[in-house]
Amino acid sequence: MSLADRSIGSELSEVEKALIFDEKFANTGFVQYDTKNGEYFFLHPSPFLKTLENEIYHVSGSPPPPEHSFVETSVVDEQTVILDNFGDKWIRVKEIDTWKLFDPSPLAAKRKTLDFVEIVDFFTYPYKGEAESVQEIAGCSSLFAFSSPPCENSHGGINSAILARDFQWNLFNKPLQMVPPELRRATSNYYYYISKIEKDIKKDTGEINVAVLHPKKLQSDIPIVILDESRKKISKDFQEQLEIESKVITAHLLDALLLQPHSTKKIEMMMLDEIYRMREECYSVALTPYNQNLNAVPKLASAYSRLQSNP
């Protein structure tokens, strides 16, 4: 589902709903410059949704707000400017005198439509197999999907080696259709490359999530091991329900990506134990070796915090 096609409230993130519908957040939003120097700029409900308001903001005599940040502005005047000779094209220009940075995290953390356990359960739906193993696959897939902000001098995002057969790769990829197509483009600040083909990603900024089937060079933060699982038969009615649920989870993801979590030692120790356990498990069953990033703990802890909508 394209982000531009969202039309109902459950498909919007909490941040988007608040900035669109709550008067308390009037003239607050995500900055996109219309002029190179930032003198004129738009305020969008989020990085993922353009404003529907026919308006633009103008600032003079003081520095403009930084592009691609959330800000709250103070409007001192506004006027309607006619853009053609017939009066059919117009725009409202809002003059501001001050602005301040706005933190959307408290709004993003309010999302309670789904518990994080329900999100993990969503990722189990394609698999038929032993319950504990399926749950582990789903948990790792969820961490990959929810990404990580940049930390400790590395770009954000999660790298994942998928250790599976071709038909099982298709099972892994099925729930990840909840990642919108806009986030599968290298130009996105939150980029997902999910492919059987390993390639060099020519991108140095933002969050870069890479999932590759049996990679040769990729340094993996988390392996996703699919050994004995097969495809679960799904009824037409259940498939329709999954499509609805997928859109709600996408909205949850959009909120989560705005969180910049602070890690805790408890979560980091839990993640480190799991990394070593999974690594030993992979080698004990003679799976194709993969390159494990043993410094992935902060990123995985951040992804886990995002999954729980907890900063």
Beta pairing class for 90-101 and 70-82: antiparallel
90/117 same-domain check: no
SS3 content of the chain, % helix, strand, coil (to 5): 35, 25, 40
- Tell me the three state secondary structure of residue 123: coil
98/114 same-domain check: no
Confidence at residue 262, expressed as pLDDT on a 0 to 100 scale:
78
150/250 same-domain check: yes
Indicate the residue among 71, 102, 133 that finishes a domain. Answer: 102
153/298 same-domain check: yes
177/283 same-domain check: yes
Q: What is the DSSP string of 124-161?
A: TTTEES-HHHHHHHHHHHHHHHH----BTTB-BS-EEE
In which domain, by residue range, is 189 found?
A: 110-307
Confidence at residue 65, expressed as pLDDT on a 0 to 100 scale:
97
Q: Tokens in use for 163?
A: 């250790």
**Of 19, 161, 159, the residue nearest 103 (C-alpha):** 19
186/266 same-domain check: yes
C-alpha to C-alpha distance for 284 and 301, rounded to whole angstroms: 26
Indicate the residue among 41, 67, 102 that finishes a domain. Answer: 102
Instruction: Count up the domains in the chain and report the number.
Output: 2
Strands of 159-163's sheet, edge to edge? Answer: 190-195, 207-213, 159-163, 222-225
93/136 same-domain check: no
Instruction: Work out the angle between the directed axes of helices 297-307 and 265-284 (0-180°, nearest 10).
Output: 110
Confidence at residue 287, expressed as pLDDT on a 0 to 100 scale:
61
85/153 same-domain check: no
C-alpha to C-alpha distance for 153 and 92, rounded to whole angstroms: 42
253/278 same-domain check: yes
Torsion angle of the four alpha carbons 3, 305, 146, 270, in this order, in degrees rounded to the nearest 10: -170
116/194 same-domain check: yes
Confidence at residue 111, expressed as pLDDT on a 0 to 100 scale:
67
Indicate the residue among 50, 68, 102 that finishes a domain. Answer: 102
Confidence at residue 45, expressed as pLDDT on a 0 to 100 scale:
96
C-alpha to C-alpha distance for 190 and 203, rounded to whole angstroms: 11
C-alpha to C-alpha distance for 200 and 100, rounded to whole angstroms: 39
124/96 same-domain check: no
C-alpha to C-alpha distance for 267 and 273, rounded to whole angstroms: 10
DSSP single-letter state for residue 201: -
pLDDT means over runs of 10, the chain (311 residues): 81 94 96 95 96 94 94 95 80 95 92 81 96 95 95 85 94 96 95 96 91 94 92 92 93 94 82 81 68 87 88 73
Q: Tokens in use for 114?
A: 């789904």
pTM reported for the whole predicted model: 0.91
81/9 same-domain check: yes
